């Protein structure tokens, strides 16, 4: 990873105005590379997120013999080798900071004829992998972890069988890993979830001609088919847009248009929660692109009030909670978050990191094992630590825009994993964020 980088976020001197396009959706970009590599023939991906996480996925498939061209920063042309065409890598496959890459690849590699190993950086080495390994073992795979965390050793040449898996956690990554293994399994592989999660994998498989049945909280497919090559237009990442949605809501006088945002209902719980808090967010030109719902989002300043976050929205906004913490800190009244224990095993313990930072800025935050109680009010300036978590760093940058004094944010280099160019885009629309 790059050397340590700190930021300084100053109070906004002007409203956020104009238009902004967030980078391509990271979840879709990862999956687009993976499925295109397994397809028969070339696929063009436009709107690709050219970030460190997705570059890791590109490098990994290059190690397995897949040619991937980059005619432009946000484009990739993947020359698919078919379901059985991957070649054995000569070294460990480095996922960097990407939990999505490691978990999905564990499922995909479980069905290969060759052995492989997945490694990552110090942060990824703490992420739970047993939740993926256990269903794969039930399918007949050979997957070993280091006490439930990376590195992951996968022995190939195993005959996989379909299973009926009731996931104990609501995780699109776990679901996707099992479904990707199911491509190579005999019989039917089915996954049910305690709460519905994002359905990108299911939609993208269907778009490539693989028969898959899915509804909210359940997905099922049979092995033995083929994936056809298709071109993909990746929408702007809602998780990246979320920071500007919250900033424009909080900074007085703001009127900001976010273009071409992916608004899959399994991804946009934050919109529902912010609107319940009083936000003024309108969808502009809603449409479908490459099978996904896309719209512009016009965000105008509005005063917020605290709420009890409905539990049914938690899985649909798990990556957006750092931004919500800041919205709650600036809202009138109390916001209560429950059912979000998954936040403690992301790139950092996001509940602890956001709570500690907001307390430093003068906000009353009471942590619980699965959430927090946040007393809204006035944010002061101060020095906070993102703990190397890209989403926490960007959330604290938004906090700086509405604080009474500048906020210094420590350890921000990992923002490049999901949002390269964040500072430039933030400054272009009116936020005062810079390298400290």
Q: Catalytic site residues?
A: 319
Contact criterion met (CB below 8 Å) for 7 and 412: yes
CA distance 49 to 37: 17
CA distance 258 to 212: 32
Q: Which residues contact 271 (CB under 8 A, 6 or more apart)?
A: 245, 263, 281, 297
CA distance 371 to 337: 5
CA distance 121 to 95: 8
Closest to 367 measured CA to CA, from 350, 389, 391, 388 = 350
Closest to 402 measured CA to CA, from 351, 352, 345, 362 = 362
- Tell me the chain's radius of gyration from C-alpha atoms: 21
CA distance 325 to 230: 39
CA distance 321 to 127: 18
């Amino acid at each position: 990873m790059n050397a340590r980088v700190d930021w300084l976020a100053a109070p906004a001197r002007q409203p956020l105005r104009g238009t902004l396009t967030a980078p391509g959706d990271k979840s879709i970009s990862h999956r687009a590379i993976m499925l295109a590599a397994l397809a028969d023939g070339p696929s063009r991906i436009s709107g690709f997120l050219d970030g460190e996480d997705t570059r890791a996925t590109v490098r990994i498939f290059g190690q397995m013999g897949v040619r991937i061209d980059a005619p432009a920063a946000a484009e990739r042309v993947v020359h698919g080798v078919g379901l059985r065409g991957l070649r054995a890598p000569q070294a460990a496959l480095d996922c960097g900071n990407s939990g999505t890459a490691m978990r999905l690849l564990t499922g995909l590699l479980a069905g290969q004829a060759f052995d492989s190993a997945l490694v990552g950086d110090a942060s990824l080495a703490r992420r739970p992998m047993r939740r993926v390994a256990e269903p794969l073992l039930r399918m007949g795979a050979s997957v070993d972890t280091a006490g439930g965390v990376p590195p992951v050793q996968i022995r190939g040449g195993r005959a996989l069988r379909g299973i009926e898996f009731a996931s104990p956690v609501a995780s699109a990554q776990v679901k996707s890993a099992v479904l990707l293994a199911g491509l190579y399994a005999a019989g039917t592989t089915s996954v049910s979830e305690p709460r519905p999660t994002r359905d990108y994998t299911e939609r993208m498989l269907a778009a490539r001609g693989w028969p898959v049945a899915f509804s909210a909280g359940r997905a099922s497919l049979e092995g033995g088919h083929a994936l056809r090559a298709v071109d993909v237009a990746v929408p702007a990442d809602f998780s990246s847009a979320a920071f500007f949605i919250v900033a424009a809501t909080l900074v007085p006088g703001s009127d900001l248009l976010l273009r071409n945002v992916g608004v899959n209902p399994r991804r946009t719980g934050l919109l529902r929660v912010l609107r319940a808090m009083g936000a003024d967010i309108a969808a502009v030109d809603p449409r479908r692109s490459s099978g996904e719902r896309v719209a512009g989002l016009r965000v105008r300043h509005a005063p917020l009030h605290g709420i009890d976050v409905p539990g049914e929205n938690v899985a649909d906004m798990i990556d957006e909670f750092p931004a919500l913490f800041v919205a709650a800190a600036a809202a009138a009244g109390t916001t209560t978050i429950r059912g979000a224990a998954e936040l403690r095993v992301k790139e950092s313990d996001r509940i602890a990191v956001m709570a500690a930072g907001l307390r430093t800025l003068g906000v009353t935050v009471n942590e619980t094992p699965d959430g927090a109680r946040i007393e809204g009010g006035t944010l002061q300036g101060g020095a906070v630590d993102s703990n190397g978590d890209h989403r926490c760093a960007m959330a604290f940058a938004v906090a700086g825009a509405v604080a009474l004094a500048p906020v210094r944010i420590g350890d921000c280099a990992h923002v490049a994993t999901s949002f390269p160019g964040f500072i430039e885009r933030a400054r272009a629309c009116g936020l005062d964020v810079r390298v400290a």
